[in-house]
């Protein structure tokens, strides 16, 4: 587990941008944290790090549940806050997106997807410490098999 503290949204974005450069396509990132903790801000940095030129347009996909950003590696951005049933995820083809080996998949409010998210997903937990201070805890998921 890696823990870091950021002191502005710019800091959080920069931390995400750095992390993005180390990610392998096919990675799923769960973003946990309260409203306004910085999940979307973090995804902006991920998109930026992956060469998405319109990273400024990264906003929570409130009505469509998912956005796609085209960078060197495509980024899927899900926000499940308004999800009412897991059945909606099936309609959306959620699992196909999760299993896309060529993309990075970022999920806000992953708790809503229950067991659908693979155990090897990376988890970023953001904690609000003050108006501009956040603690980020980055945890690697369980690996599927030995040596992978
Ligand atoms: N250190 C920080 N890191 C991230 N965001 C910060 C920080 N300090 C202040 N902020 C502010 O907190 C807010 C975070 O908003 P953001 O939309 O990223 O949160 P969120 O977790 O996606 O919220 P939601 O659950 O509503 O989707 C922004 O207004 C941002 O400017
Ligand atoms: Mg958000």
Report residue 148's pLDDT band, with 50, 70 and 90 as the boundaries. very low
Neighbours of ion ligand 2 (CB under 5 A): 39-40, 60
List beta partners, residue 106: 29, 77
Distances in Å between the Cα of 14 and the Cα atoms of 58, 91, 141, 142 are 15, 34, 22, 26
Evaluate: CB of 107 within 6 angstroms of ligand 1: no
Residue among 49, 7, 51 nearest 29 (CA): 49
* Mean pLDDT over each residue of the chain, to the nearest integer: 92
Question: Tens of pLDDT along 87-142?
Answer: 889 888 899 999 999 999 999 999 999 899 999 999 999 999 999 999 999 999 88
Evaluate: CB of 78 within 6 angstroms of ligand 1: no
Distances in Å between the Cα of 17 and the Cα atoms of 23, 55, 67, 118 are 10, 11, 18, 23
Give the residue extent of every domain in the chain. Answer: 2-113+121-133
95 CA → ligand 1 middle, Å: 27
Evaluate: CB of 109 within 6 angstroms of ligand 1: no
The topology under which CATH files domain 2-113+121-133 is Rossmann fold (3.40.50)
- Closest atom of ligand 1 relative to the 31 alpha carbon: 21
Is 60 exceeded by the pLDDT of residue 65? yes
21 CA → ligand 1 middle, Å: 22
Question: Tens of pLDDT along 3-32?
Answer: 999 999 999 999 999 999 999 999 999 999
The pLDDT of residue 92 is 85
Q: Helices then strands (H, E): number in the chain?
A: 4, 7
Phi-psi group of 79: left, alpha or beta (phi > 0 → left; psi -120 to 50 → alpha; rest → beta): beta
Residue among 72, 8, 75, 65 nearest 44 (CA): 75
């Amino acid at each position: 587990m890696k823990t870091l503290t950021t002191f502005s949204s710019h800091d959080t974005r920069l931390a995400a941008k750095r992390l993005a450069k180390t990610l392998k396509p096919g990675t799923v990132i769960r973003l946990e944290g309260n409203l306004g903790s910085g999940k979307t801000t973090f995804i902006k940095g991920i998109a930026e790090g992956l060469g998405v030129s319109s990273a400024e347009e990264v906003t929570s996909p409130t009505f469509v549940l998912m956005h796609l950003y085209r960078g060197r590696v495509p980024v899927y951005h899900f926000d499940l806050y308004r999800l009412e049933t897991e059945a909606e995820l099936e309609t959306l083809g959620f699992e196909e997106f999760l299993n896309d080996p060529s993309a990075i998949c970022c999920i806000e409010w992953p708790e809503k997807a229950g067991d659908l998210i693979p155990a090897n997903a990376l988890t970023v937990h953001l904690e609000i410490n003050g108006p501009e201070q956040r603690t980020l805890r980055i945890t690697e998921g369980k690996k599927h098999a030995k040596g992978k």
